[in-house]
Structure 1
Amino acid sequence: MTRLGRWLSWVSAALIVYMLCHIALEIVLRAFFDTSTFVLEEFVGYALGAMIFLALAASHTEDRLIRVNLLKNILGPRGREIADAFANLAALAACLLLFGALYNIFTRNLRFGITSSSFSETPLWIPQSLIILGLGFYILRLAVNVLVHTEKSLKA
């Protein structure tokens, strides 16, 4: 799981490079050639959404997400594990709700061939599939964390 999460975070980093290159290309086209790709905002928006969700599991695994440890600092080792298990379980529940809603939108767009209303007419299921992939992997990561913290709390 950690290796796959790291790979997805590398894909996320590649999306940052893509966004940088697309913005630079757009600047050159507008400044020197009086033209545009006409899809900068749309494609960078898709990349940003995908980047966030693809890197989520790796960020959580490496403990890089914002956390409020006020309560955890006054708990003992067992209490910390129970608090972590509960926090991961709450995040898992929220992510499952979000996944269900996004998956419904994804399948509808795929089934009916819905495209963006912009110049590119991008099939919306393509960028949404990356978001679904990232969120799905994060859900697996949270489920593993719940089990790990529960096991540690029983041993402590």
Structure 2
Amino acid sequence: MSDTHDIAGQTGPAMLFQRCVFALSQAAAVVAAVLVVGMVLHILLEIGLRLVDRSTFVLDEMVGYAIAGATFMSLGYAFEHCALVRVGLLVDRLSGRARRALETLCGVATLAVTSQIAWVIAKTAMRSFERGRTSSSIAEIPLWIPEAVCALGLGIFSLQVFAWILRQIFDLPGPVPPGSDDPLQNDL
């Protein structure tokens, strides 16, 4: 069963774009889940090593990078499933075209901010790569790796917000149908 199936008989370039962006968000969410599993495994390894007076000496650093990566990589998927905190004092009181117009305005503002932050982090990652910057720990992790993961996650989130803006403008259905069995369903 796939969340990217043809929804409500809608086809065409707009729906293809919606499905591709959502598939990308799903893939990023899988990466986020793998990072969380990696954190758990590293913590369990560290516990085992400390029982015999040993350590990897990089637990804090690796878990920090994994938390950042998992957070940023899951943003698009969480947004599509309405799992991000939103303040709906005004939006929730509107319906129809007025609600879609306000949602579009909020989406454009979100897109402007997130895409700018993604660009700045991507430039930082490129600069770190060019300069060969590494972390100051004994692991000497190339800093461009966690920076690039964060930039990629924000880029995917920005694409998901753009796809959502298009849905608001053209009144298209989303890739997560309302009433689906998904516990994080999109019921807008």
Provide the secondary structure at the position in 1 that maps to 2:74. helix
1:42 to 61, 69, 72: 61
Q: Which one of the candidate residues 44, 61, 86 is aligned to 2:80?
A: 61
Specify the alignment match of 1:11 in structure 2: 31
1:95-114 correspondence runs (5 A): 95-114=114-133
In 1, Cα distance between equivalents of 2:122 and 2:147: 9
Is 1:137 the equivalent of 2:149? no
Which sections of structure 1, spanning at least 5 residues, go unmatched?
none
Please give the alpha-carbon distance, in whole angstroms, between the structure 2 residues aligned to 1:6 and 1:147. 19
Question: How many Å separate the matches in 2 of 1:73 and 1:122?
Answer: 45
Q: Any runs of at least 4 consecutive aligned residues in structure 1 with deviations exceeding 2 A, and if so which?
A: none
Q: Paired residue for 2:113, among 79, 94, 98? A: 94
Q: Secondary structure at the match of 2:86?
A: coil
Q: Relative to total residues, which structure has the larger helix share, 1 or 2?
A: 1
Taking only aligned residues, the RMSD between alpha carbons, in angstroms, comes to: 1.4
1:71 to 90, 97, 103: 90
Equivalent pair of 2:119/2:151 in contact (CA under 8 Å):
no
- CA deviation digits over 1:3-31, x for unaligned, max 9? 2211211111111111111111111111x
Unaligned runs of 5+ in 2: 1-20, 173-188
Counterpart-to-counterpart distance in 2, 1:21 and 1:144: 35
- Count of residue pairs brought into register by the alignment: 152
Return the match for 1:80 from 99, 123, 127: 99
Indicate conservation of the 8 Å contact 2:72/2:154, yes or no. yes
Please give the alpha-carbon distance, in whole angstroms, between the structure 2 residues aligned to 1:102 and 1:4: 20
Rounded Cα–Cα distance in structure 1 between residues aligned with 2:117 and 2:143:
18
SS of alignment partner, residue 141 of structure 1? helix
Q: Name the residue aligned to 2:142.
A: 123
How high is the TM-score relative to the length of structure 1? 0.92
Q: Which amino acid aligns with 1:21?
A: L
Distance in 2 (alpha carbons) for counterparts of 1:135 and 1:60: 12
Which of 29, 44, 47 is the aligned partner of 1:27?
47
